[in-house]
Amino acid sequence: MYQDKKVVFSGVQPSGMLTIGNYLGAIQNFRTFSDEYRCYYCVVDEHAITVRQDPAVLRRRTYETLALYIACGLDPTKNVLFVQSHVSAHAELGWILDCYAMFGELSRMTQFKDKSAKNADNINAGLFTYPVLMAADILLYQTELVPVGVDQKQHLELARDIAMRFNGVYSDTFVVPEGYIAKTTAKIMSLAEPTKKMSKSDENENAVVRILDPRDVILRKFKRAVTDSGSEVRRGEGKEGIENLMSVYSAFTGASMEEIEREFDGRGYGDFKAAVGEACADALAPIQAEFARLSADKAYLEQVMKDGAAAAAHDAQRTLSKVRRKIGFTELRR
C-alpha cells in the first residue's frame, strides 16, 4: 500500500523532558511530511541507555515522548509512531552495520567526544557505536529524508557512508538518505550560555525551556535569558543570545528577522524577552492541553505503541531479510 511513497524517518531520545529545541529543530517539522511520505517517528529508547537511566523514569519518559509526538500534531493513523525497543530489527541491523563501520570514523564523532567528557565514568561501547544504531534506524526503512537539528548532521553523514559502503560491497541494498535541516531553528541555543546548544539533559534548568513548562516558568526563563550588554534587538557580532531569542520568536510568530528588528526598534531587551516568552507560552498551550488529555489515557497510548510496532516490524523485516541474504546468512525454511 505504501510502496509508492517515499519514506521519512526520525527519532527522539526519551532521555529528558523535551525542549523547544527538540520541538522547533525537529518535531515541529515532522507533520509537514505526513501527507506525502510514509513517515516513521520513533521513540529511541535503545539510544537513551548509552547514558545511565533510572528504569522507572525511562519508562515514564517513553510514554511522555510518544504522547508529545501526538500532542504536537502527529496523527497515529497517518504516521507510524513507535518505540525502538519494540522492533528488534533495529538492534539486529545495528549489529550487522557495526561490522561495516570503522573505528576511525566513529572516533571522529563530536557527540561521542562530548558525551565521553560528560560521562567519564561510563564511556561504554554503546556510546561509541551509537551512530551505527542510528544508521540502522534510518536504513531499515529505505528512508529518503531525515528531519533533524544540525547537531545530528555528522551522524547522518555516517549513515550515508555506511549505506554507500554496504551498497558498494553487495550491490544496491539501502536508499542513501538525505538530511532535512530547518533553516533558522536548526540549532536553538541554551538560554544560559548562548554559544551552546539547548540540551534536554542540561543540569541548569534555566538554560532550557521545556515543551511542558508552565506559562509562568516560560516567562521567567526568557526574562532571565543571558544576552549581551547592549540594548538593541538585532543580529550581529557578540549578539548570539539575542539572535537566538529572535529565532525562537520568529519560529513561534512567523515574523521574519527583519520584521522583528523593526517591531522592537528602540524598545530594549526587557520588552522583547517578555514578548518572546508570551509567544512561546501561547504556542505551547494547546500542545500542553492535548498532552494532559493523552497522558490520562494510557490504554490509548499502548494501543498506538502496539499498532506502530506491528507496522514498523513488518516494514523493517523486508530490508532485514534482504540484508541477511546478501551477506550470506543461512535461512531456515518454514
Active site residues: 115, 197, 200
Assess contact for 257 and 246: CB atoms under 8 A. yes
The rounded distance, in Å, linking the Cα atoms of 85 and 309 is: 9
Q: How far is the CB of 7 from ligand TYM (least distance, A)?
A: 12
Q: Indicate whether 26 belongs to the interface with ligand TYM (CB under 6 A).
A: yes
> C-alpha distances in angstroms, 257 versus 198, 208, 244, 251, 326?
20, 22, 11, 10, 51
The binder of ligand TYM chosen from 7, 12, 72, 301 (CB under 6 A): 12
The rounded distance, in Å, linking the Cα atoms of 186 and 152 is: 10
The binder of ligand TYM chosen from 8, 10, 180, 247 (CB under 6 A): 10
Question: What does the block give as the cell for 291?
Answer: 498532552
Q: How far is the CB of 300 from ligand TYM (least distance, A)?
A: 24
In the chain the beta strands, taken as DSSP E runs, fall at 6-12, 37-43, 80-83, 145-147, 178-180
Give whichever of 149 and 194 is closer to ligand TYM, judged by the CB atom. Answer: 149
Choose the binding region for ligand TYM from 7-15, 219-227, 233-241, 253-261 (rule: CB under 6 A): 7-15
The binder of ligand TYM chosen from 50, 62, 79, 152 (CB under 6 A): 152
Choose the binding region for ligand TYM from 53-61, 145-153, 167-175, 309-317 (rule: CB under 6 A): 145-153
Q: How far is the CB of 19 from ligand TYM (least distance, A)?
A: 7
User: Residue 27's closest CA among 8, 45, 46?
Assistant: 8
Choose the binding region for ligand TYM from 33-41, 116-124, 142-150, 212-220 (rule: CB under 6 A): 142-150
Give whichever of 114 and 297 is closer to ligand TYM, judged by the CB atom. Answer: 114
Q: What is the DSSP letter of 197?
A: B
As beta bridge partners, residue 178 has 145
Q: Indicate whether 149 belongs to the interface with ligand TYM (CB under 6 A).
A: yes
Size of the site for ligand TYM (CB under 6 A): 26
Choose the binding region for ligand TYM from 17-25, 238-246, 257-265, 275-283 (rule: CB under 6 A): 17-25
Four-CA torsion 184, 187, 193, 194, nearest 10 degrees: -20
Give whichever of 34 and 263 is closer to ligand TYM, judged by the CB atom. Answer: 34
Q: Indicate whether 277 belongs to the interface with ligand TYM (CB under 6 A).
A: no
CB atoms within 10 A of CB 316: 23
Question: What does the block give as the cell for 26?
Answer: 525537529
CA 49 and chain centroid, separation? 16
Q: H-helix or E-strand containing 82?
A: strand 80-83
Question: What does the block give as the cell for 141?
Answer: 526503512
Q: Going residue by residue from 188 to 227, which x/- string records binding to ligand TYM, judged by CB under 6 A?
A: x--------xx-----------------------------
The rounded distance, in Å, linking the Cα atoms of 187 and 294 is: 29
Q: How far is the CB of 20 from ligand TYM (least distance, A)?
A: 8
Question: Which chain residues interact with ligand TYM by CB under 6 A?
Answer: 9-13, 21-22, 25-26, 44, 47, 134, 137-138, 146, 148-149, 151-152, 155, 185-188, 197-198
